[in-house]
Each structure stands twice: as C-alpha cells, then as structure tokens.
Structure 1
Amino acid sequence: MRLCSIASGSSGNCIYVGSDNTHLLVDVGISGKRVEQGLNSLELTGKDIDGILITHEHSDHIKGLGVIARKHQIPVYATEGTVEALSHMNLGKMPEGIFREIHEDEPFEINDLTVNPFTIPHDAAQPVGYRVECGEHSVGIATDLGKYNEYIVGNLQNLDALLLEANHDIRMLQVGKYPYYLKQRILGDRGHLSNENAGRLLCRLLHDNMKGIFLGHLSRENNYEELAYETVCSEVTLGDNPYKSRDFRIQVAQRDCISEVITV
C-alpha cells in the first residue's frame, strides 16, 4: 500500500491511497490540473483512479470533484448526507449513477482494498474519516475533527501509516484576526483539531510498526509547519507513552506540493 498527500491544508485537500492494483483519491479540494500533476508524479493519471472517497462537502475537500469525476467517469463514494449536500453544490452536471452511497461502520470493497468509513465530529452534513486496508496493512485519514473520542481511537488502532489533522495553534487562533464566531467554531467540538490535541491523539495510536505519520490540514492563518511539527513532537515525547517523537517518521503534509510516499 501507498499513502501520499497531493495537497493538504485549509485551502485544499487531496490524498492518494492505493495498492499495486487499485488507486483511490480521498477528497478533491484542488483543481483538476493540480490533481493530474500530483498523480503524474506518482506515475499515474486520472484514468488510473478507481474511486474517490469524500469525507464531507466543504469546498476545500470537493472543489475539483466535478471536473475529475466527470472527465474520467470515476465513482464517488460518500455518505447519504454528504451526497445530498453535494447535490446543492456547484459541481456541474454529474453523470447518472456516479455517486455510491456508503454508511459509517459498514466496510466496503474496491477491488483489493477494504474501506472502513467512521463518523467524525465536524460541522458538515454527515462527515467521515477513512481507514483503508489491503491484506494485513492499513492506513488512516482523519482530518476535520473537532475532538477525538474512544470510538475514533478505536478506528485508528494498529495503522501502518496515518494522515492526521493538526489544524491550528490555539494561541495563534485566539489572538488572530478571525471573527469571534469563527474562532468559536474552530475551537468547538465540531471544528478542527489543534496541534496539541493532534499530539495527544497520536500518543494513543503509536505502536512499534507505525511506518509514518503526516500532519495535515494546517490552517494558513493560525498555524505554520514548524510549530505544528514541534508541538506534536513535544506531546509525543513528553506524553504518557513509551516512545519519543524521533522513533517515528513524522512530517508535515504541505498545501502546495506533493509529499513523499509512505509505502507499507
């Protein structure tokens, strides 16, 4: 299996996950051109994509969906609430039958990959995170979390690789220029995960065989790469777990360029 961030940030998200035989995108919140460029760097094209998994309907996750799905007739997998919300978005005319409705906690298969959608607390219609498995290996994508709980921890156990939200620094957000209501939304239980909470969640998920961690969905205004990285690493090293951050390959997924590929 391979996991790679094509783009990750509050302005646009697109993640690649696949096996030798099956290639998926998780969200398409960037232009079709940028998606194709990212896939080309993986020696793939849009024609190779077997499915698009949508986490939720916010624009930074679906901006390029209409273009890519139409051009290559790619099935789009999303919850009923997300499909309904997408029907009111400006995606252009979508081909009949292109949406495949999925349900939380009901795994489904796309060729040799098993996809497990799980509920996430976010202010969207019916949002989910994803755990994708191939044989004994698994990767997880968990962004846009207002908080985490035992259910989410359970869904992210024993992963080989993980892309986890580290959206904001709480202090930067509190003293920043955002209006009060937006600050409260981001800090709320259906908002976004702070650097500190990302580190604390990661402490619950680490194990000896974890191959790599991406920190994703960073806010452009209320975070920066070095701060997210240092804060999460500090939580891991000082946290109640047997590990130090240097025991793992932790890196920040950038908004404007493709990440390295984690192969498991």
Structure 2
Amino acid sequence: MRIFFIGDVFGKPGRRILKHHLEWLREELRVDVCVANGENAASGKGITPGVAEELFASGVDLITTGNHCYDNKEVFTLFEKDEERIIRPLNYPQGSPGPVCARWSSPSAGTLTVVQLMGRVYMPPCDSPFTAIDAFLETAPSSAILVDVHAEATSEKQALAWYLDGRVTAVIGTHTHVQTADERILPHGTAAITDAGMTGPHDGIIGGELKQMMRRFLTVLPTGLEVAKGKPMIHAVLIETENSGLNARKIERFSLGENQLNRGSIGVS
C-alpha cells in the first residue's frame, strides 16, 4: 500500500494547489490512498462541509483535524455526514462530538485505519495520548494503521513514535506547519516524521499574512488571522507498506512549489 499524507492544508492557497495538482500527483506517485490534515483548511482555522468536499473532490480520501476542529460549528454536520472520512482527535474527553477512526480499503491494496492524537505539551488540555492509543490498539484491526500526532513539542511527537514502533504503520506529526527532515523507519518497522509540514502559502508566517503576524511579535495588540497570499507549496510524505501489512518499507518526504509541479518531474522509487 502506498499512502500519501499531506501536511496541514492552510486556507484557499492550500486547497487551490491540491485542486490543480493532486490528481496527477497521485497517478505519478502510484498512490493508493491519500490522507490530509484539514484543520486549517477553512480560512486558516477549522473546516466546513464545503471545504471538505473540495478536498475530497481534489483527490483526498480521508481528513484528520486537530485543535481547531471545532472552530466552525458546521463541522458537527460534517461529522454526521462523513463519519467514515473525517475524524477528531482520539484523546479528546469522552463524549466530544465526532468520529475518532477513519478506514479506507481496496481489494488490491488492503485496509488503512487512521486515528489522530493530540499532544499535551503547550496545547489545550486533553486526555493522555499514550493511554488513549493503548486502549484503541487493543481492538484495532490487524491492518495498516496511520497515526497523526497533532502536537507542538517535537519531543512529545518523537516519544509517541518510539512508543508505537512496531505497533502501527506510521506516526506522522502535524500542527507546527514547519516540515522536519527526520523521516525514517524505526527499528520495528514504523515510519515516522516529526512534522509533515504545511500545504499552503509559504511567504507568510506559518500560513498567516506576514505584516499581520509580525504585529503579534512587535506589539501587544490583538490581531486576527489573515491567510497569506504568497506562492503555495505542497508538503507531504509517501509511505509504502510491506505487502499490505502493518510494517512500513519506505517513507519519502516532499516539499514542492508550483514551479516544481510538472508531470514527469517528480522522481519516484
């Protein structure tokens, strides 16, 4: 199975670059299933039914969220409508709205289960991600499992990756919008990267408009969030599993600007 995981899709620029390029990228990279973090897809905060449909139409199969998942009240309708394709963090308190597990399958590639964990270091309060994933894995199917770790601290993401080595297929960090260069296969077969990065405008500050974001650092005045208008990039990783099983065979990182996105230009092994 070849899994393409797209780092945090940020606003219209992130959606636009996927609309224009994801379909042929899937073909060129021989992608079986595509997962995207969509918690910033609607104007930089949260997700709506319309935005989710746009991502699905572009070629995304499953969507994870994060700490902004409830920022748009329309998301509750989305959770009811697409409970098999979009999820909230697994370790939110019991009773929190939204599904916690998404599954995709095909006769040729097998089944992929996707869950998301929220970090607790420098993040809003939530239950222990370690305890939550232990409980989930007790009854999880024996298929490929991808865990999106939505967290601020690199140490916490790496700790979860090591904790889950050999128990899941991949542990992919999200949230910081800064792609890390530490992708690897851990000793017991789990693919890991601390942060997949951001799919969106890269001429601002983590997706936000440059001047507005600078005001946050230079003054004490409150500022809103305006999506930057600079050139977008696709940040993603490609994971290949061992014969549709649990272990990963390969993880490859991508950082692609529009000037690099030409058919036949993306190397694939």
State the TM-score bracket (shorter-chain normalisation): 0.3 to 0.5
Taking structure 2 as the reference length, the TM-score comes to: 0.44
Normalising by structure 1, what TM-score? 0.44
More helix by share: 1
